[in-house]
Chain A
């Protein structure tokens, strides 16, 4: 693109883009990449933390980190890098929540944490149902299916979900998933295997079967 030669450095394109032949991600490409992935990233975060507000924060932090630290990376590496950053951002959230909960528990020891989580999830699905009245062509049963599937994903142990989503939703291969999760390829296969079995079991009674 001619434009890289017209604009002075520091005006929106990293200096690395000036060198043609190296497929470094330009600001536009990063923007396009994030635009393509932001919905899935948001959903991934929601399944993990079950709260829209926190999920948005997580996605924002992940995007910031990608842009701050990895804008000089080749375009092909962005999907994998972003998955790793996203998982770290989710872990950070839980770390902070644990610290917060520790102090909260000290103050109100009678609160039942399990109940709290279930409430949030129910009110969440109720909220999203009310936001969109079903259209005439709408398949009501398919919306119920989606809700059931999302519930099952949220109930998975974190590591299983973190293997399942990059592997099957983002379509990373085993090696890439291992890098994203920071574990061995063997572990990835184990987590995926368990995730699929757990999901199949949860969904068995509701009309899906592997």
Chain B
């Protein structure tokens, strides 16, 4: 066994070990990450909040605007499409990796001519 194989085997074992992490730890990691990333959103929002404090009516208008924006985002995002299309992709003749390949993109482009 040369060094490359050796480190390869080691890393494979390490990867196996991460797959065997218990559910509690995995959940904990996920919730920590979720908190941290969501916390960033609140930081970004601080600028908006200080404005609201100084001009309460402006803040009200912004809040309503945010509600509307939120509604638009949820409803006009075309989420249904993605789910449907994904199922077709995943049950197609070709494996999904095929569609991500550079060659595939090239062949498709050639069809435009």
Beta-carbon nearest neighbor of A31 in chain B: B37
Out of A6, A38, A142, which one reaches B69, CB within 8 Å? A6
B3 close to A (CB within 8 Å): yes
Are the C-beta atoms of B10 and A199 separated by less than 8 Å? yes
The complex places the Cα of A148 from the Cα of B37 at a distance, in Å, of: 35
A20 close to B (CB within 8 Å): no
Are the C-beta atoms of A60 and B36 separated by less than 8 Å? yes
B61 close to A (CB within 8 Å): no
The complex places the Cα of A34 from the Cα of B72 at a distance, in Å, of: 28
Are the C-beta atoms of A146 and B37 separated by less than 8 Å? no
Residues in A193-210 with C-beta less than 8 Å from chain B:
196, 199-200, 208-210
Beta-carbon nearest neighbor of A52 in chain B: B25
Contacts of A40 in B (CB 8 A): 14, 18
Beta-carbon nearest neighbor of B38 in chain A: A12
Are the C-beta atoms of B66 and A132 separated by less than 8 Å? no
Interface residues on B, range: 35 or more
Are the C-beta atoms of A145 and B11 separated by less than 8 Å? no
B103 close to A (CB within 8 Å): no
**Beyond A43-B17, A210-B2, is A63–B36 a contact (Cβ under 8 Å)?**
yes
Residues in B12-40 with C-beta less than 8 Å from chain A:
13-14, 16-18, 20-22, 25-26, 28-30, 32-33, 36-37, 39-40
**Beyond A6-B69, A6-B73, A8-B65, is A63–B6 a contact (Cβ under 8 Å)?**
no
**Beyond A38-B29, A56-B28, A56-B29, is A67–B36 a contact (Cβ under 8 Å)?**
yes
Are the C-beta atoms of A39 and B26 separated by less than 8 Å? yes
Interface residues on A, range: 35 or more
Point out residues on A near B: beta carbons under 8 Å.
Answer: 3, 6-14, 27, 30-31, 34-35, 38-40, 42-43, 52, 56, 59-60, 63-64, 67-68, 71, 128, 131-132, 142-143, 145-146, 149-150, 153, 168-169, 196, 199-200, 208-210
9 A-B pairs whose Cβ atoms sit less than 8 Å apart in the complex = A12-B41, A12-B44, A13-B44, A39-B26, A43-B18, A56-B29, A128-B20, A149-B14, A150-B14
Point out residues on B near A: beta carbons under 8 Å.
Answer: 1-3, 6-7, 9-11, 13-14, 16-18, 20-22, 25-26, 28-30, 32-33, 36-37, 39-41, 43-45, 47-48, 65-66, 69, 72-73, 76-77
Other A-B pairs, 16, CB within 8 Å; known A143-B20, A168-B7, A209-B6: A6-B76, A11-B44, A27-B41, A30-B37, A34-B37, A35-B33, A39-B29, A42-B25, A67-B39, A142-B16, A145-B13, A146-B14, A149-B14, A150-B17, A196-B7, A200-B6
